[in-house]
């Protein structure tokens, strides 16, 4: 038995989906609507990093069904909640159908978006370097 019956992942941290729609507003609306339906104990809504489907966003995926939704906007959230999370029916007009794996299509984004992606990757590398340094410091602290 899993901890939740359904798990919704919204690509808010990937470098492209945030330029296809207001992913934070989608996340906030999804959480609010799940709560409004009394589903907080059954449905978990999480921010997600890139889902490797860039260019079709904002992307939303619902597990355990592995139902992928593309081009989701804030005004689509209620349909996903009402029809899918409550009614167990796929919202067919938003359904993303693509071959398994990486379906990135990013050539159409302007240079500013690609520059954002590069900067975001650099920040991630800096964060990881800081995490590794912290781990080393903790290990030295435990040995002392």
* Strand ranges, E, within the chain: 6-11, 43-48, 60-63, 67-69
Position among 8, 10, 17, 62 found at the interface with ligand FES (CB under 6 A): 17
DSSP state of 84: I
Q: Which is nearer to ligand FES, 8 or 59 (CB)?
A: 59
- The 33-72 site mask, x for binding ligand FES (CB under 6 A), equals -----------------xx-xx--x-x-------------
**Per-state percent for the chain, helix, strand, coil, to nearest 5:** 45, 15, 40
Q: Which is nearer to ligand FES, 39 or 76 (CB)?
A: 76
Q: Which is nearer to ligand FES, 12 or 33 (CB)?
A: 12
Of 8, 1, 25, residue with least CA distance to 86 = 8
Q: Give the Cα separation of 134 and 81 in Å (integer).
A: 40
Interacting residues with ligand FES (CB under 6 A): 11, 14-17, 50-51, 53-54, 57, 59
């Amino acid at each position: 038995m899993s901890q939740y019956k359904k798990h919704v992942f919204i690509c808010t941290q990937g470098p492209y989906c945030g330029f296809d729609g207001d992913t934070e507003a989608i996340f906030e609306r999804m959480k609010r609507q799940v709560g409004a339906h009394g589903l907080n104990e059954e449905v978990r809504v999480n921010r997600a990093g890139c889902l490797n489907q860039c260019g079709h966003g904002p992307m939303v995926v619902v597990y355990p069904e592995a139902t992928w939704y593309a081009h989701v906007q804030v005004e689509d959230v209620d349909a996903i909640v009402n029809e899918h999370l409550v009614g167990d029916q796929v919202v067919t007009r938003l359904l993303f159908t693509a071959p398994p794996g990486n379906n990135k299509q990013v050539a159409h984004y302007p240079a500013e978006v690609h520059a954002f992606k590069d900067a975001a990757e650099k920040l991630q590398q800096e964060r990881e370097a800081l995490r590794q340094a912290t781990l080393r410091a903790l290990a030295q602290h435990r040995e002392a």
